[in-house]
Amino acid sequence: MLSIDLSGKRALVAGVADDAGYGFAIAKALAEAGASICLGTWPPAMNIFEALIRRGKIDESRKLSGGRMMEFEKIYPLDAAYDTSADVPEEVRTNKRYTERGDFSLQGMADALRKDFGEPCLDVLVHSLANGPEVKKPLLETSRPGYLTALSVSAYSMVSMMQRLGPLMRKGGAAVSLTYLAGERVVPGYGGGMSSAKAALESDTRVLAYEAGRKWGVRVNTISAGPLASRAASAIGIIEKMVSFYAQVSPLPEELQAGEVGNAAAFLCSPLASGITAATVYVDKGYHAMGLTSSG
C-alpha cells in the first residue's frame, strides 16, 4: 500500500499558537505520518498556548490515529518580523510578553535548533505566518508602514527562514508555505497589502525553489488554501462570509476542512512528491477554477 512515511524526519512548523488554524492541521498531518514536530510560536501567545497544552485543553485536537497523542519536541518563541535580535526595537524588547522569551528572532530560532539538534537537523519546514495590521483597509487607504509590514511578515519572512534554516535542512527536504487566491485575483475586503504579500510569496516560492534546490537539494512549494474561519483569520472581518461563499459556488460545494490542507502539505513534504517543486498547489475545493459563479 502506498502511504506517506515521514518516520525519522523532523519538521518545524512556524506560526502555530492554537489548534484552530492550518498550521496546527499541517503539524498534525506530519505527526500522523511519523515526523517529530517542533513549533515556532509568536511570543505574546506562548503562555496561553503552553497553558492549553499543560491543562489538556487541546488533547482532543492532538489525538492521532491509534490513540497516540501529537507531542512537540520543542516550542520556540518566534516573531518573524525580526531577522536578528539586533533588529528588535526597544519597546518590543522590553515588553513583558517578550522579555522572558530570550532571542525570538528568526536567527535566534535557527541558533536554538542548531544547539538542540545539531546540523543538519531538519527535513520539513512549514511557513504558516501572516500579518497585515491594516488588512481591513482597502488598498487605496493602506499606509506605507501597514503595506510594508504585510510584506515583511507574510512574504519576506519565508525568504529569511530559508536563508537561516536552509543550511540546517537535509538533502531531499521540503519547505511549504500558505498563500491565498488574492495573490492573483481581486478579493474585496482582503486589503492592507495582504494581496500583494501573497503575490510576492508565490513569486518567491519559485525563485527559492530554484536557489534552495541547487544549493541544498531542498524543494519549495506553496499551498493556495481556501478560507478557514480560524481565530487568526477573524482579523479579516469577512471570513465567515468568505467561507460560506466558497461553499456555495465551488465545484465541490462544501466547506474546506483544515485537515485537507494538512494532508496536502504532508504529501508535498514527503518523498511521494519528490518531483514537485516551485509549485502553487490549490487546495480550495476547486474554487480557483471558477470564472462565473452560481449558487445553483
| pLDDT attached to residue 1 | 79
| pLDDT attached to residue 235 | 60
Average pLDDT in the 104-116 region? 98
3-state secondary structure of 130: coil
- pLDDT for 239 beyond 90: no
Q: Which of 190, 210, 246, 282 is catalytic?
A: 190
The predicted-structure confidence for 140-156, as pLDDT tens digits, reads as follows 999 999 999 999 999 99
Mean pLDDT of the chain: 94
3-state secondary structure of 19: coil
Q: Does residue 190 lie in a domain region? A: yes
The CATH number that applies at residue 183 is 3.40.50.720
Structural domain total, the chain:
1
- Comparing C-alpha atoms, which of 235, 226, 229, 230 is closest to residue 289? 226
Banded pLDDT at 234 (limits 50, 70, 90): low
Average pLDDT in the 27-47 region? 97
Q: Does residue 3 lie in a domain region? A: no
Cβ atoms of 122 and 113 closer than 8 Å: yes
Domain around 246: 10-287
Banded pLDDT at 164 (limits 50, 70, 90): very high
Is there a catalytic annotation at residue 180?
A: yes
Q: Does residue 1 lie in a domain region? A: no
| pLDDT attached to residue 261 | 98
Cβ atoms of 126 and 175 closer than 8 Å: yes
Q: What is the DSSP letter of 69?
A: B
Q: Does residue 54 lie in a domain region? A: yes
Q: Does residue 175 lie in a domain region? A: yes
Sign, Cα dihedral of 89, 93, 98, 104? positive
- pLDDT for 291 beyond 90: no
Q: Does residue 65 lie in a domain region? A: yes
For residues 279 and 187, give the distance between their C-alpha atoms in angstroms, rounded to a whole number. 22
- pLDDT for 296 beyond 90: no
Q: Does residue 269 lie in a domain region? A: yes
Average pLDDT in the 264-268 region? 98
- pLDDT for 25 beyond 80: yes
Q: Does residue 293 lie in a domain region? A: no
Banded pLDDT at 228 (limits 50, 70, 90): confident
Banded pLDDT at 179 (limits 50, 70, 90): very high
Q: Which of 180, 246, 282, 287 is catalytic?
A: 180
- pLDDT for 110 beyond 90: yes
